[in-house]
């Protein structure tokens, strides 16, 4: 009688142990499944794109199909110019908003703004494209680099605000108190003590925002449109790496696909390097997550 009881309990225990092992194995399996597509995309892009990369790729214009060679020089320049346009207002607004949300976190307004920043980061980038179209393209009557840069700048704001806020919050309060105790005003404390301490973290936020914006296609399709030639005019349509990849990718020509893979390889490398830098900087300075 007692023996049977014990045996039953033992069996139940073994079942629970088995279930535990099973679930933990499934969890490990899920991790492998999640990482596989990344490795696949990464190696496939490298294999297809790296061979088409050469010096010309960075300096030449795209060639009409059928002609050998050519590059994406104008698209690379275009992406760079539009990121600069976006940075001129995206970075200051992002950082100042981050300061407000972190350093004046008591007020109702700062809660509302933090919430809106989070919500804004989830708004589809194509919606930002439509907004920019109505605001700039419709008014000026044409697609332009200015419109593209504006859209990219808007997309950068939430990322920069969030990282600035998080980085400022990591700065120990004792530092703020020490500064205030020395009679330094609050604004000087915020700018020259707190912001300075967190500066490397904030730079990583800016880098992440730039890398993300560099890969955005949807908001550029009908703002900066595209351009097959060199252009630095802010009032003219401008080429960009992602839009150029898109146009090449959906074309039927093998040569163009190859160029698109090379472009994709450049973008993926950019993303990888930026994330690696961010990881190294944040590891050294703070323990983020």
Residues 52-91 close enough to bind other proteins by CB under 8 A: none
**Residue 270 corresponds to which tokens in the numbers above?**
């950019």
Residue 225 as a binder of other proteins (CB under 8 A): the answer is yes
Interface positions, 120-179, toward other proteins (CB under 8 A): 120, 122-131, 133-135, 143, 154, 157, 161
- CA–CA dist 176, 110 (Å, integer): 19
Name which of 166, 154, 170 is nearest 93 in CA terms. 154
- CA–CA dist 122, 34 (Å, integer): 22
Report the residue from 186, 192, 230, 235 that binds other proteins according to the rule CB under 8 A: 186
Name which of 82, 37, 52, 35 is nearest 264 in CA terms. 52
Residue 267 as a binder of other proteins (CB under 8 A): the answer is yes
CB of 47 to other proteins, least distance (A): 11
3-state helix, strand, coil in the chain (%, to 5): 80, 0, 20
Say whether 164 sits in a helix, a strand or coil. Answer: helix
Residue 92 as a binder of other proteins (CB under 8 A): the answer is yes
Say whether 224 sits in a helix, a strand or coil. Answer: coil
| Nearest CB to other proteins, comparing residues 257 and 285 | 257
| Nearest CB to other proteins, comparing residues 57 and 246 | 246
Are residues 117 and 95 in contact, defined by beta-carbon separation less than 8 angstroms?
no
Interface positions, 23-42, toward other proteins (CB under 8 A): 23-24, 26-31, 33-35, 37-38, 40-41
CB of 161 to other proteins, least distance (A): 8
Report the residue from 197, 222, 228, 258 that binds other proteins according to the rule CB under 8 A: 222
Stretch near other proteins under the rule CB under 8 A, chosen from 3-11, 58-66, 70-78, 246-254:
246-254
Residue 47 as a binder of other proteins (CB under 8 A): the answer is no
Sequence-ordered list of residues with C-beta below 8 angstroms from that of 153, at least 6 positions apart, any chain: 85, 86, 87, 88, 89, 90, 213
Residue 280 as a binder of other proteins (CB under 8 A): the answer is no
Residue 249 as a binder of other proteins (CB under 8 A): the answer is yes
């Amino acid at each position: 009688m007692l023996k049977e009881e014990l045996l039953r309990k033992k069996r139940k225990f073994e079942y629970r142990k088995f279930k535990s092992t099973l679930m933990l194995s499934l969890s490990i399996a899920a991790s492998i499944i999640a990482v596989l597509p990344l490795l696949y995309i990464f190696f496939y892009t490298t294999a297809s794109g790296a061979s088409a990369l050469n010096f010309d790729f960075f300096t030449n214009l795209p060639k009409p199909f059928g002609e050998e060679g050519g590059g994406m020089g104008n698209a690379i320049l275009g992406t760079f110019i539009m990121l600069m346009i976006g940075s001129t207002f995206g970075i200051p607004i992002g950082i100042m908003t981050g300061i407000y949300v972190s350093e004046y976190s008591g007020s109702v307004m700062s809660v509302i703004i933090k919430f809106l920043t989070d919500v804004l980061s989830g708004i589809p980038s194509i919606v930002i494209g439509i907004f920019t179209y109505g605001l700039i393209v419709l008014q000026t009557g044409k697609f332009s680099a200015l419109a593209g840069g504006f859209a990219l700048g808007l997309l950068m704001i939430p990322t920069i605000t969030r990282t600035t806020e998080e980085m400022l919050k990591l700065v120990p309060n004792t530092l703020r108190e020490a500064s205030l105790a020395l009679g330094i005003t609050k604004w000087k404390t915020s700018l020259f003590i707190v912001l300075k301490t967190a500066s490397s973290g904030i730079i990583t936020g800016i880098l992440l925002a730039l890398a993300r914006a560099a890969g955005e296609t949807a908001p550029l399709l009908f703002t900066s449109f595209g351009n097959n030639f060199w252009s630095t005019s802010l009032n003219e349509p401008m080429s960009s790496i992602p839009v150029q990849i898109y146009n090449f990718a959906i074309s039927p020509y093998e040569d163009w696909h190859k160029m698109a893979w090379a472009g994709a390889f450049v973008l993926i490398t950019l993303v990888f390097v930026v994330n690696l830098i961010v990881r190294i900087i944040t590891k050294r300075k703070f323990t983020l997550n």
